[in-house]
Amino acid sequence: MNAQVSFQQVDVFTEVPFKGNPVAVVLDGSGLSTDEMQTIANWTNLSETTFVCSPTDPKADYSLRIFTPQSELPFAGHPTIGSAFALLKHGFKPKTPGGLVQECGSGLVSIHIDADKLFLTLPEPIIHSIDHAELADMASALGVPLTNVRASASIDVGAKWITLQLSNTDEVRSLRPDMSRVAALTPAGVTGVAVFGLAVPNTDSFVEVRSFAPGEGIAEDPVCGSGNGCVAVLMRQLGLIEESNYVASQGYCVGRNGRVEVRYEENGKILLGGHAVTCIEGKLHL
């Protein structure tokens, strides 16, 4: 090809450039083939690269295709927030003021515009238990005693994560996983492993999260939307949160300072979002 398309690299779940999770956003991907999209995603080498395309559903504002360096995902959280932010910054006008509707592999995702923040509505979760032997193997690969895994589930919110509660924030931060074993133990169709621990009271976040997806070419996702979504689902199921909202921190171990805001709605829905900031803007030469 010999063309140019508008491009932004957006840092998500932060107000401070270079402290969140970057996503590469190609703002007009309709003319690109799947192979071309995958090649670009492999080249950017970010956890996700997205391509904004024309929707097929009349209720949607746009369609979004989401790629890791190795494969396409039906849904992911921080690319959804970052792509919506990039579109709005580029001058896109929603069909309905105050919100956007994204079409993706998981269906339609509603995005709420709240002043300078964006919140996605988490897809309806599917929750499964984890076999004891498989859980023991994964705990060993993470380098944590099985007795310190307080709760576990395999949760699908469009992206599927093995989701584990550990003893506390310090244990989450001290993990040094064997990434080759984590990749080998991650079942087909599962993005990776999301671990969390509750923080001590009176800190600026309620929970610490880390997300490992070496099977997708991402050893550690700096600040993961879908992983945090799975954590929010499990925390609600376990009754760990009494408030209608909380803030999760993620990225400390990779030099970031992400903040993910979670809101539990009265209708049972979970909203997840926060700030975003553009770090690169220009043209991608194809």
- Cβ pair 96, 76 in contact under 8 A: no
Give the pair of three-digit tokens for residue 245: 């909202």
Q: What is the mean pLDDT of residues 124-136?
A: 97
* Rounded-to-integer distance, Cα 79 and Cα 21, Å: 9
The amino acid present at 118, given as its one-letter code, is: L
DSSP-derived 3-state class of residue 134 = helix
pLDDT level of residue 1 (50, 70, 90 thresholds): low
* Rounded-to-integer distance, Cα 30 and Cα 231, Å: 33
Q: What is the mean pLDDT of residues 242-246?
A: 91
Q: What is the mean pLDDT of residues 181-210?
A: 93
The answer, yes or no, to whether residue 224 has pLDDT greater than 90, is yes
Q: pLDDT for 69-113, tens place per residue?
A: 999 999 999 999 999 999 999 999 999 999 999 999 999 999 999
Q: pLDDT for 154-185, tens place per residue?
A: 999 999 999 999 999 999 999 999 999 999 99
pLDDT level of residue 66 (50, 70, 90 thresholds): very high
What's the predicted TM-score (pTM) here? Answer: 0.95
pLDDT level of residue 242 (50, 70, 90 thresholds): confident
Q: What is the mean pLDDT of residues 27-31?
A: 95
Please report the pLDDT score of residue 32 as a whole number. 96
List Cα–Cα distances, 7 to 40, 90, 136, 209, in angstroms.
12, 10, 43, 29
List Cα–Cα distances, 32 to 29, 51, 62, 162, 246, in angstroms.
5, 9, 15, 33, 39
pLDDT level of residue 204 (50, 70, 90 thresholds): confident
* Rounded-to-integer distance, Cα 232 and Cα 99, Å: 22
Q: How many CB atoms lie within 10 A of CB 178?
A: 14
- Cβ pair 167, 159 in contact under 8 A: no
b/e code 251-273 from CB counts within 10 Å (16+ = b): bbeeebbbbbbbbbeeeeebbbb
pLDDT level of residue 34 (50, 70, 90 thresholds): very high
* Rounded-to-integer distance, Cα 134 and Cα 121, Å: 31
Pick the catalytic residue from 48, 216, 220, 261.
48
Please report the pLDDT score of residue 283 as a whole number. 95
Please report the pLDDT score of residue 272 as a whole number. 98
Closest C-alpha among 37, 39, 35, 23 to residue 65: 37
Lowest mean pLDDT among 144-158, 194-208, 257-271: 194-208
Give the pair of three-digit tokens for residue 115: 């002043």
Residue 48 falls in the annotated catalytic set: yes
The answer, yes or no, to whether residue 259 has pLDDT greater than 80, is yes
The answer, yes or no, to whether residue 250 has pLDDT greater than 90, is yes
